[in-house]
């Protein structure tokens, strides 16, 4: 059946429309424009270091070295820039789900860094919750759409009901301190028994300042979560 569909609708690059080998992939030219995060990177938070630095097998950024990591483990597939925005924005705002396939595939790739010999494997995935008002306006939670293929790959469940989010004004134009204040208290654990003792992987499309991940982690840990990990398609990388 897949073969027949491929014949009728050959897989195409969502950015330029060129034929590609499989759905959910970019053509080589578009792939090359994305600033994928490789090594070396911070072993805990995934912060990318300059390519020519040899920092040993488990380098730490200054934030994680000081024990101030936002999460117990965090990765992003690529840097947030003009190229990754071309994938992310149509997905986020117009529901173009073929971009979502590219994003979740890239995130599954970034999960390969997870070292199950030193960290307990995630038990469940919680997509960063959207307030009901936003889901109603948009029609879907983009983080939940990204989470499903990742959960299928890891063979763990997605939990979209244990944590709720209160509606607040958009954070678009706020700085880091204002974002932290604006996000404080928006998440509520509704079903603590699903959280207690669990190793939770939270999923979002983009990490900007880390304030959302950080607040969600705080709430999950307070509800008894063991470890809280995170994965996003892209992240803002600023000098630290």
Give residues in contact with Zn ion (CB under 5 A): 13, 15-16, 18, 27, 30, 42, 44-45, 47, 61, 64
CB of 191 to Zn ion, least distance (A): 31
Please give the backbone phi and psi of residue 127, each rounded to the nearest 5 degrees, phi first.
Answer: -65, 140
Whichever of 47 and 141 has its CB closer to Zn ion, that residue is 47
CB of 106 to Zn ion, least distance (A): 14
Whichever of 5 and 16 has its CB closer to Zn ion, that residue is 16
Residue with tokens 């994680």: 64
CB of 184 to Zn ion, least distance (A): 22
Using DSSP's 3-state secondary structure scheme, residue 96 falls into coil
- Asked if 119 and 227 count as a contact pair (C-beta separation under 8 A), the reply is yes
Whole-number Å distance between alpha carbons of 10 and 68: 47
CB of 158 to Zn ion, least distance (A): 26
Please give the backbone phi and psi of residue 144, each rounded to the nearest 5 degrees, phi first.
Answer: -70, -35
Please give the backbone phi and psi of residue 220, each rounded to the nearest 5 degrees, phi first.
Answer: -70, -40
Whole-number Å distance between alpha carbons of 49 and 168: 34
Whichever of 76 and 199 has its CB closer to Zn ion, that residue is 76
Whichever of 108 and 237 has its CB closer to Zn ion, that residue is 237
């Amino acid at each position: 059946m897949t073969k027949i569909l491929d014949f009728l609708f050959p897989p195409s690059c969502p950015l330029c429309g060129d034929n590609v080998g499989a759905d959910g992939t970019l053509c080589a030219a578009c792939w090359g424009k994305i600033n994928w995060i490789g090594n070396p990177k911070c072993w805990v938070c995934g912060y990318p270091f300059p390519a020519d630095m040899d920092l040993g097998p488990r380098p730490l950024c200054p934030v994680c070295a000081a024990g101030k990591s936002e999460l117990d483990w965090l990765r992003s597939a690529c840097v947030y820039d003009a190229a990754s925005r071309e994938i992310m924005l149509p997905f986020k705002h117009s529901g173009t789900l073929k971009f979502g396939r590219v994003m979740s595939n890239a995130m599954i790739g970034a999960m390969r860094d997870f070292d199950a010999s030193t960290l307990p494997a995630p038990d469940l995935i919680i997509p960063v919750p959207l307030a009901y008002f936003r889901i109603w306006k948009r029609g879907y939670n983009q983080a939940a759409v990204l989470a499903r293929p990742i959960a299928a790959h890891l063979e763990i469940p997605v939990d979209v009901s244990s944590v709720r989010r209160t509606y607040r004004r958009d954070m678009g134009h706020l700085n880091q301190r204002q974002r932290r204040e604006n996000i404080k208290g928006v998440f509520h654990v509704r079903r603590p028994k699903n959280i207690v003792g669990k190793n939770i992987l939270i999923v979002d499309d983009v990490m900007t300042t880390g304030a959302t991940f950080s607040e969600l982690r705080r709430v999950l840990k307070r509800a008894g979560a063991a470890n809280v990990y995170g994965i996003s398609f892209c992240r803002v990388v600023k000098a630290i």
